[in-house]
Amino acid sequence: MTIKCAIIDDEPLAAEMLAGYASKTPFLNLVGVYNSAIEAIRNLRSEPVDLLFLDIQMPELSGLEFATILPPETLIIFTTAFDRYAIDSYKVNTVDYLLKPITYDSFLKAADKALRRIIESKKQITYAADRFIYVKSDYKLVRINLDDILYIEGVKDYVRIVLADSSQPIMCLMNMRTLEDYLPTP
């Protein structure tokens, strides 16, 4: 999995260092480096990113102000020389807060934390989208919404699935172990 990221920092040396770190991190795809939040707005609307490395103290629009107008799914790693903004930074979708000068080790740990958060959110989306199963019953393929299941009962080589919105249970030729393999894990 690759994370699309961008850097916003008004200090050219800091931005260059972060860009170097991003380029040597295999799961990061750096799509832009901007020296102001205003400059970034134009580009990020047409090419949204998964992750922003965002300085806080910048002219015109601070990183904290900019963070409030970002889409909620955009993750943020703040990069700043000041620790006084740490508490305020966690009011937005902050993954981490890195104090300058930033080492590659701390950069990599923060980026890895973002990667894990993205992977976890994708699992939840997949799980939410997969809220049904198909089973064979009476020579037909029946779609069952998992939220409609009241209970499941094993009857020898059959499984009886009792649904909330049906007076007839669904009988299918399979054992409980096989059905368990079909069901998503929470």
Q: Residue 96 and residue 116: Cα distance in Å, rounded?
A: 13
CB 84 within 8 A of CB 97: no
pLDDT in tens, the chain (186 residues): 899 999 999 999 999 999 999 999 999 999 999 999 999 998 898 889 999 999 999 888 888 899 988 888 899 999 988 887 777 777 777 899 999 999 999 999 999 999 998 888 776 545 556 678 878 888 787 888 888 899 999 988 889 999 988 888 999 888 887 788 777 766
Cα distance between residue 37 and residue 54, in whole Å? 9
Q: Is 61 helix (H, G, I), strand (E, B) or coil?
A: coil
CA distance 165 to 178: 24
* Sequence-ordered alpha helix ranges (H) in 2-149: 12-23, 37-46, 63-67, 86-89, 104-129
In Å, how far are 17, 68, 118, 123 from 49, measured between CA atoms? 20, 15, 12, 19
Q: What is the CA radius of gyration of the chain?
A: 24
- H or E element, residue 52: strand 51-54
Domains of the chain: 3-128 (3.40.50.2300), 132-182 (no CATH)
Nearest Cα residue to 74 out of 101, 58, 94, 99: 94
Does pTM top 0.85 for this prediction?
no
